[in-house]
Amino acid sequence: MSNKQQLIDLFRERALRFGEFTLASGKKSTYYVDKMQITLHAAGLRLACEGLLDLIAGIDCDAVGGMTIGADPIVGGMLTLAAEKGRDLEGFLVRKEPKGHGTQQFIEGPLQAGQRVVIVEDVVTTGGSSIKAIDRVRDFGANVVQVVAIVDRLEGGAANFAAHDVPFKSLLTIEDFGISPPKP
């Protein structure tokens, strides 16, 4: 990724916080990556989505998607940039709970059974959110071929994806910010 350093600098400036935090995984941490400060910022979203599209450039896939709310801006950004590059790609979002009206489904968007999909994530710790998305997409009948993330905290996500037979790549790891992952 040619703009990797720009993205790292933007994370340092806007999104990396230090203190005492409880993560979505339930783990305690002395730092927090406030990813929405990147994905809801014009330059940050562009840099992240350009990098994610580069990560999936050689992957045969029909759609990108992930758990709503974190994946929402990423999916939109990737679709916009894919269209600019002439790549035919669709998006979808996975709800935490089924829609309470209409079709009452977990999956929103034009996803169809049999399609090959990439799950997108902002920050991966253990991978729990993406694993929920993987399970729901598989239940829907689509095939998950890859998980990609903007940042990997290096706290077990890759191993958990491997246990679900899904390859994983990330643009950045926490080590790119000079932070060592916790010892297992």
Per-residue pLDDT tens over the stretch 55-85 = 999 999 999 999 999 999 999 999 999 999 9
Global pTM exceeds 0.85: yes
Cα 37 to Cα 14: distance, rounded to the nearest angstrom: 6
102 compared with 12, residue with greater pLDDT: 12
Could you tell me if 124 and 21 are in contact, meaning their C-beta atoms sit under 8 angstroms apart?
no
The whole-number pLDDT of residue 77 equals: 98
The whole-number pLDDT of residue 51 equals: 96
Instruction: Answer whether CATH 3.40.50.2020 is correct for domain 4-177.
Output: yes
C-alpha gyration radius of the chain: 16
Residue 62's contacts (CB-CB under 8 Å, 6 or more residues apart) are 89, 90, 115, 116, 117
8: tokens are: 């790292």
Which helix H or strand E contains 78, and what residues bound it?
helix 71-84
41: tokens are: 């910022």
Cα 93 to Cα 95: distance, rounded to the nearest angstrom: 6
pLDDT tens column, 119-129: 999 999 999 99
Cα 60 to Cα 58: distance, rounded to the nearest angstrom: 7
